Structure 1
Amino acid sequence: MNTFAFQNKKKKNYFEGWYYRITDAENNINIAVIFALTKDKKHPHSFIQFYDGHQKKAYYYTFDINDFYYDDANDTVRIGQNELSVHHLLLHTDDVHIEATNHEVVPLQIYNGHQSAMGYLSNAPLECFQEVLFMTSDVTFTLNNSPHKGTSYMEKTYGTNFPSQWIWLQSNHSKNGSLISFSVGKVPVLFFEVKGFFLILNINGKEQRYGSYNFSKIKIDAVSDTHTTFSIRKGTTTIIITAKTNHPVELVGPRKNGTMDLAVHESLNATATIKVFNHNDIIFEDEYEHVGLELMY
């Protein structure tokens, strides 16, 4: 499965978007860019969102849906004159000009025959799908003609509706060098609403997977507008994660049928900690900064 590729699963009432983060910690640059389209029958369009975590501002640029083009040969999304691929970003608006190139991308490792973050559930009849395209990459970029170096991260979502509630957390900046990508959401399955989740944890280049697809269990111990604590168990392993948001900014997300009018509150400057236990013994712990965090639970 080419997880970056345009899945294009429905002809109408559908959304699909690619999320790309760049962080230059030394120069206090923390930004995110979303390339997407919605086939909402009331207002079909393509769009780009730009989120400046330092200025705490977000911009939503609307394009005609026919301005969206996916180049299969080069695995590149184009919206107007703007381009995004696993290796490159070109964004030029009235507010910002960015050109970025990724180097030494760290993609997800194959897990039980799947590279998908969702494992075999990527083939299930769900309303929303999420893929982690890469956990980290070195990046060189210019921001409004000023050159920089930093790290980047990329994921995507697609489907007909965001979960009714969710928590999302991501960071590739930590004290002990681990990488983390986590998502949990309440999603409808038949006549029920279930909690689906995945945690991808990369420690010293070794990737660990926990999720609904491998009999891991999750417990949300606490959640508010600013804090969350949750625990994940699989076999003799217990993982406890705490996170605190910091100046979240309102982005726009999809409701039912891909309608883009859902207020999504996201921080790019959150903090988090993780503790990994084998039985009652701590075998790993880390502290994260420049955390992407959404507490929509």
Structure 2
Amino acid sequence: MITTNRFFHVNKRSRGFFEGWYFKHQIGSQVYAFIPGISIDDKGEKHAFIQVISQDTAHYFHFPAEEMKVDEVAQQVTIGDNLFSLRGIKIALHSAELSIEGSLTYDHLTPIKHSTYAPSVMGPFSYLSFMECYHGILSMGHTLSGTLSWNGEVLALEGGKGYIEKDWGTSFPAAYIWVQSNLFDNADARFFFSAADIPFLGSTFLGLICILQIGDKEYRFATYYGGKITDIVREEDRLTVLLRQKDLQLAIIIETMEGHPLQAPSRGAMGRIIRESASTTFQLTLKQNGQDLLTDRGTMAGFEEVGNLRGFRY
């Protein structure tokens, strides 16, 4: 069985595989995300990496594979002098363009709900061993404390909010949309959305996973719960995605931004370029049987858009 609840998966793969974690930190109009991971191409050549993205820039730090160590029990990964865990991070990254040092501590992590049918955000697809890309959410939101020195400027993230997800497999989907934020007018709101073209048994289907948490309440739209995208419309710099699941309807109106270039996996190798904005704004409207349950605005959101999802022209 493949399960997204494990912290580490790549140790049994020798070629054509990747694994990466996404540690995001928000405070006010500032966003700082770190993506540690490992890449193994089709020839078995491997290297570790740390990608850094902020509202202003993105950088890729390359490391020999042997500098990456993972402790499954402690749920932490170290790459060089950098440590990433569910308790916090320690950063020591230096290049000609960017120097970052410091440490952050996490508290009050917020997991998603689990069941036997849906042991992870991927639902029953978690049990399959042949998916192109697996996804896991480790914390929808948590509090931050500590500081980072960013090119000599001290950044105090006390009172900020964090988010942790992860991906592993062979390649990112050929076409997908991804949006995430836990900075809303409603301080108890946290949001994640992803839709992608999913290769499956010689065919392809449009897969949907979306979670809106408001305090202890979780609304989840997913293909495995009968959730569907009913429309995608582009109007200038806005992308509207409409979802329906039973008696629930969700509208996501995204202010699209081109973002910064990131390296993404294709058959394990980090040779594909995508673009991520770390400072997008979007609006959510959640309805039940046509009656408004929530209207809110997410800010400093992560946003990626690659290709066109099957069945839609926008």
Q: Corresponding residue for 2:156? A: 147
| 2:5–2:136 CA contact under 8 A, matched in 1 | yes
Note the aligned Cα RMSD (angstroms).
1.8
Task: Say if 1:5 and 1:289 are closer, same or farther in 2 by CA, change over 3 A.
Answer: same
Matches within 5 A, 1:240-279: 240-246=251-257, 248-255=259-266, 257-279=267-289
Which one-letter code corresponds to 2:125 in the other structure?
A: L
Check conservation: 1:4, 1:133, Cα contact below 8 A. no
User: Is the Cα–Cα contact under 8 Å of residues 122 and 129 in structure 1 kept in the other structure?
Assistant: yes
For the 8 Å contact 2:258–2:275, the answer to whether it is kept is no
Alignment of 1:1-297 (within 5 A): 3=5, 5-8=7-10, 10-25=13-28, 28-42=29-43, 43-53=45-55, 56-94=56-94, 95-111=99-115, 114-124=118-128, 125-144=130-149, 145-149=154-158, 150-177=160-187, 178-223=189-234, 226-246=237-257, 248-255=259-266, 257-297=267-307
Specify the code of the residue in structure 2 equivalent to 1:213. Y
Distance apart, 1:3 and its partner CA: 2.3
In 1, Cα distance between the equivalents of 2:304 and 2:239?
10
Cα separation, 2, equivalents of 1:295 and 1:224: 15
The answer as to whether partners of 1:14 and 1:40 remain within 8 angstroms in 2 is yes
Q: Which moved more, 1:79-88 or 1:39-48?
A: 39-48
Deviation of residue 146 (structure 1)?
Answer: 4.4
CA distance in 1, matches of 2:243, 2:71: 39
Q: How high is the TM-score relative to the length of structure 2?
A: 0.88
The alpha-carbon distance between structure 1 residues 207 and 115, as it changes in their structure 2 partners (threshold 3 A), is farther
Write out per-residue CA displacement over residues 46-71 of structure 1, whole angstroms, 9 at most, x where no aligned residue. 00011121xx2111111111111111
Q: Is the 8 A contact 2:22 2:36 kept in 1?
A: yes
Deviates most, 140-149 or 159-168: 140-149
How far residue 279 of structure 1 moved from its aligned partner, in angstroms, is: 2.1
Q: Any conservation in 1 of the 2:240–2:254 contact (CA below 8 Å)?
A: yes
Q: Is the 8 A contact 2:4 2:134 kept in 1?
A: no
Kindly indicate whether the alpha-carbon contact (under 8 Å) linking 1:217 and 1:232 is maintained by their aligned counterparts in 2: yes
- 1:275–1:286 CA contact under 8 A, matched in 2: yes
Unaligned runs of 5+ in 1: none
Maintained 8 Å contact 1:225/1:295: no
Deviation at 1:98, TM superposition (A): 3.0
Q: Is the 8 A contact 2:132 2:169 kept in 1?
A: yes
Give the AA of the match of 2:74: N
- Output the TM-score relative to the length of structure 1: 0.93
Helix, strand or coil for the counterpart of 2:66? Answer: helix
Residue 311 of structure 2 corresponds to none
The answer on whether the counterparts of 2:26 and 2:183 sit within 8 Å (CA) in structure 1 is no
Instruction: Specify whether residues 62 and 111 from structure 1 end up closer, same or farther in structure 2 by C-alpha distance, changes over 3 A only.
Output: same
Q: Report SS of the residue matched to 1:162.
A: coil
Aligned-partner SS, 1:121: helix
Tell me how far apart the structure 1 counterparts of residues 243 and 197 of structure 2 sit (CA, whole Å).
Answer: 16
Measure the CA separation in 2 of the matches of 1:224 and 1:41. 40
Mark the runs of 5 or more structure 2 residues left unpaired by the alignment.
308-314
- 1:204 positional shift: 2.7
CA contact (8 A) 1:170 1:293 kept: yes
Cα separation, 1, equivalents of 2:118 and 2:230 = 25
> Cα distance, 1:267 vs. partner?
0.8
| Alpha-carbon distance in 2 for matches of 1:225, 1:58 | 25
Cα deviation for residue 113 of structure 1 reads: 5.1
